[in-house]
Amino acid sequence: MKESIQKAQILVEAFPYIKQWSGRTVVVKYGGSTRGGVEELKNTLQDIVLMKFVGMRPVVVHGGGKDITRAMEKLGLPSKFVDGLRVTDLPAMKVVEKVLGGKINKQLVALIHQLGGKAVGLSGKDAAMLQASRIKSKSGKDIGFVGKVAKVNTAVLQSMDREKFIPVIAPMGLGKDGHTYNVNADEAAGAIAGALKAEKLVFLTDVPGICRKKDDPKTLLSTIRAREVPKLLKNGVISGGMIPKIEACLHALMSGVHKTHIIDGTLPHALLLEIFTPQGVGTEIVP
Ligand SMILES: Nc1ncnc2c1ncn2[C@@H]1O[C@H](COP(=O)(O)OP(=O)(O)OP(=O)(O)O)[C@@H](O)[C@H]1O
Ligand SMILES: [Mg+2]
């Protein structure tokens, strides 16, 4: 009995948050690096299904760099990176499309249904949601079919919202030339959040958030203001995979998203903790 009363108490405590968040859009980028076992994945997706059922509008964007590298290895294709971007020639693009659009995307969709939710898997190519334009590396090198998001067409997301589907998006874009482009998942999430004027953009990754010392969770920065970011980039506190995340956060904030977060996706129910508790978790990046 005592346990049941405690459970009821938790529901009552969550109520103001549920009410506050009803109807709000939250874009969640699910990092490939957080892909542990299926149980861990289900844990995250369960939170997303619950968010949808209490009236929120979650939109999922996923990564998958590690799976792509593994799949390329199996085919004897080397993974080459220039300035942090994957060199994506035609054979590599085929693997990217298969792994992101085929394997990971459909696995997430299937699990959401298994957990009682409704999801539709899309790539940025569908309904020309993500229009991509070809980019070069920072040092000016040609890196193949790698694109930046030139435009987001949210029409398909709105139609899915009417039918209460959770959109699950693989980060690929359609070029004006008709080619498929590999788009950074963090950038895609930031662009989609901005275009939807989402309330929040949340990155689920494999570390507790942005730490002053990269490998020391005790140095976690719980709040970062947008104006502090250039210095953190310049002095190397933010490096590697964190760079596109923070850039996506800045883009989203400039486009009217209220708050952006980088949190530990390996922590059970990290998303619910972030949204339905006053403390929150990880790093928030605010205007
Ligand atoms: N200041 C920092 N604090 C914490 N982590 C940092 C910092 N700077 C760089 N990192 C690195 O960023 C990584 C997270 O980005 P990464 O691209 O590896 O994962 P992801 O984006 O979640 O997954 P994927 O790219 O597969 O979608 C961390 O594992 C860490 O090594
Ligand atoms: Mg990454």
The answer to whether residues 264 and 205 touch, using CB atoms and an 8 Å cutoff, is yes
- CB 232 less than 6 A from any atom of ligand 1: no
Q: Is residue 142 part of a domain?
A: yes
Position 35 pLDDT exceeds 80: no
Q: Is residue 5 part of a domain?
A: no
CATH number for the domain harbouring residue 80: 3.40.1160.10
Domains in the chain, number: 1
In angstroms, rounded to a whole number, what is the distance separating the alpha carbons of residues 50 and 253?
26
Closest-lying ligand 1 atom to the alpha carbon of residue 205: 22
Res. 39 pLDDT band, cuts 50 70 90: confident
Q: Is residue 6 part of a domain?
A: no
* Residue 33 CA to ligand 1 centre (angstroms): 8
Q: Among 242, 243, 260, which residue has the most ligand 1 atoms within 8 Å of its CB, making it the best to mutate?
A: 242
First to last CA, the chain: 46
* Beta pairing, strands 130-136 & 142-152: antiparallel
* Residue 241 CA to ligand 1 centre (angstroms): 4
In angstroms, rounded to a whole number, what is the distance separating the alpha carbons of residues 155 and 282?
32
Q: Among 28, 207, 234, which residue has the most ligand 1 atoms within 8 Å of its CB, making it the best to mutate?
A: 207
Q: Average of pLDDT values for 252-262?
A: 97
Count of residues in the chain: 287
* Residue 219 CA to ligand 1 centre (angstroms): 15
Amino acid 33: pLDDT: 66
| E-state strands within the chain | 25-30, 57-62, 81-82, 85-86, 119-123, 130-136, 142-152, 166-170, 172-175, 180-183, 200-205, 223-225, 259-264, 283-286
In angstroms, rounded to a whole number, what is the distance separating the alpha carbons of residues 60 and 108?
9
- CB 58 less than 6 A from any atom of ligand 1: no
Structural domain that includes position 105: 22-286
Q: Is residue 9 part of a domain?
A: no
In angstroms, rounded to a whole number, what is the distance separating the alpha carbons of residues 42 and 25?
21
Matching residue, tokens 């987001």: 152
Q: Average of pLDDT values for 81-93?
A: 91
Residues 149-173: pLDDT tens digits? 999 999 999 999 999 999 999 999 9
Q: What is the pTM of this model?
A: 0.96
Q: Is residue 125 part of a domain?
A: yes
